[in-house]
Amino acid sequence: MLVSIPSPTAPLSGKIQRERERETETETMEGVKEGDVNAMLRGQAEIWRCVLGFVDSMALKCAVELRIADIIHSHGGRPVTLAQIAQSIDGSPSPDLPYLYRIMRLLVRRNIFSVHRPSDDGGDPLYGLTNLSRWLIQDSELNLVPMVIMKNHPLQLAPWHYLGQCVREGGIPFQKAHGVELWEFAGDNPEFNKMFNDAMACTAKIITKAVLEAYGDGFRGVECMVDVGGGTGGVVAEIVRAYPHVQGINFDLPHVVATAPAHDGVEHVGGNMFDAIPKADAVFLKWILHDWGDEDCVKILRNCRKAIASSDQKLGKLIIVDLVLLGQNGDSLFEDVSVRFDLLMMAHQSGGKERTEAEWKELLQQGGFPRYNIIKIQALPSIIEAFPQ
């Protein structure tokens, strides 16, 4: 708001008053020049967007819970009216149309859904799918629905309220919120464990497809591969399906593999990667090392090095699928997401973090892998191919 400085003298003539106003109108109460007012206004708007960022997440969660994308998809993907969406919501005999309209208004603004308003003004607006909402179709093989549910669950949101406390005094936000670390909590809570595994499985499908497209030749010389922290075995099963000559081992904590389904060509092995890792000529680590601090990562990498069966005829290798931060001025499709993932690791894991290439290089050298290649894929993470010699 522009504020004129009041005159300390008696009322001035009209001409003098206008000149005085021109001299003072370029300052605000904070002394900000008129040329900066628009920038300050944009700054205010951006802070409001940050403050209310959770609204986007909650509206997205609502759309997933109501299966709005699936409802539109069930009509052949053709745009439908709000009433048609409401009529198809399960377990809702009388849905609140004004509420639904307001939620859809925001989701359309975020390009989650599209809206088409008939030009003759005689029909109802029609809502359709976009490239964003196609990732919310639960019946699709590749979707992010379980991740939306998991990341917006109250148990996962609670640790975020402890970030400031942890900055002041250290500690792990998840542990402060729930009394134990994430892995122990998952082991003691079957429902949370299933929700977590489902979220990991949905992203695993997306990432595995991208890995196979970008790194297919990298598996051709592999005879036995162990997927460390492989969850229920979905990733290694896909790799074995694509390359049947590979003998797959899915290695994870006992309570995780206990719920894993059988996969052709895959053996489930329970254990702890900090103790030992099953022998193989290739070790696969997808989104594992970002869960841990540097010291723990070095322990894991050294166990990977021990597990790799190298010889003069065959060179064993480590295949890491993880984020590679580009640095402060990095600019890529997923860079903003990657920086947010770094805070996600801080909130939920013990020492977990995302790393730059320089940090990965140092970590790999300490773990016994002096050579590496970084391979970009059509997904959030990258492949880091590392060799013990």
Decide if 262 contacts 234 (C-beta within 8 A): no
- Region of 142 (left: φ > 0; alpha: ψ -120 to 50; beta: rest) is beta
What tokens were used for 157? 């949101």
**H/E/C letters for each residue in the chain?**
CECCCCCCCCCCCHHHHHHHHHHHCCEECCCCEHHHHHHHHHHHHHHHHHHCHHHHHHHHHHHHHHCHHHHHHHCCCCCECHHHHHHCCCCCCCCCHHHHHHHHHHHHHCCCEEEECCCCCCCCCEEEECCCHHHHCCCCCCCCHHHHHHHCCHHHHHHHHHHHHHHHHCCCHHHHHHCCCHHHHHHHCHHHHHHHHHHHHHHHHHHHHHHHHHHHHHHCCCCEEEEECCCCCHHHHHHHHHCCCCEEEEEECHHHHCCCCCCCCEEEEECCCCCCCCCECEEEEECCHHHECHHHHHHHHHHHHHHECCCCCCCCEEEEEECEECCCCCCCCCHHHHHHHHHHHHHHCCECCCEEHHHHHHHHHHHCCCEEEEEECCCCCEEEEEECC
Decide if 228 contacts 250 (C-beta within 8 A): no
Decide if 111 contacts 130 (C-beta within 8 A): yes
Q: Tokens 């010889």 map to which residue?
A: 311
Q: Tokens 């209310």 map to which residue?
A: 52
- Catalytically active residues are 290
